[in-house]
Amino acid sequence: DYDNSDHIIELLNDDGSVWNSINLYNEMTLIEDFDIIAFKPDYFIFKIKCKEKNRDFYRVVVNEETGLTKRLSISSKLKLQTWEEYVIDVFSVDFSPSEIPILDKIDGTPISELPNQNHIIVPKEIKGEWMRIIWTNSDYPTNDSVNFSGWIKWKKSNKILVTIYHLS
């Protein structure tokens, strides 16, 4: 028999009872009221927002739309990341350059070479609320592609302003 208990995450109610158990490697059922930042078991992606941490557990948001929170016991199988660590580790980001201008430097001036709508925009560096992004001049980057770079405001206070893509 295969013991997959190490792949199970138990989300707890405040009284310590189990609200729901999630198998990180094989979650095929829909869980009512479960809507986290990213959950793609086939790609080993489980991203959940942590609101609070104490000695024994994390308080996590299990439903981004309603703000529903549950407890999650602290475990070595979980890795707590800052927003900066999280967003720099994604595949790509997207945003509207008319709403979030791309600047030549932090607090600089808008640049003229903007990415096309279907270009992949990759986060490369974070400095506070600023993110340095890169993209190429072609839809399918090659060795001859020209890379462009600029800075955008990616968050304001605790609100992320860009759309995050974990997968291509």
| Side chain identity at residue 64, one-letter code | E
Q: Which residues make Cβ contacts (< 8 Å) with residue 119, sequence separation at least 6?
A: 135, 136, 139
Beta strands 57-61 and 49-53, pairing class? antiparallel
Take residue 128 and report the two structure tokens written for it.
């506070």
pTM (two decimals) = 0.76
| Side chain identity at residue 167, one-letter code | L
Give yes or no for residue 1 having a pLDDT over 50: no
Task: State CA 108 to chain mean position distance.
Answer: 26
Phi, psi of 126 (to 5 degrees): -125, 135
- The pLDDT tens digits of the residues spanning 79-135 come to 888 889 989 989 999 999 889 999 999 999 999 888 887 788 999 999 999 999 999
How would DSSP label each residue in the chain? ----GGGEEEEE-TTS-EEEEEETT---S--TT-B-SEEEGGGTEEE-EEEEE-SSEEEEESBTTT--EEEEE--TT-----HHHHHHTSSEEE--TTTS--BSSTT--B-S-PPPTTS-BEEEEEETTEEEEEEESSSS--TTPPEEEEEEE-EETTEE-SEEES--
- The pLDDT tens digits of the residues spanning 28-81 come to 656 788 888 888 877 778 889 999 999 999 999 999 999 999 999 988 878 888
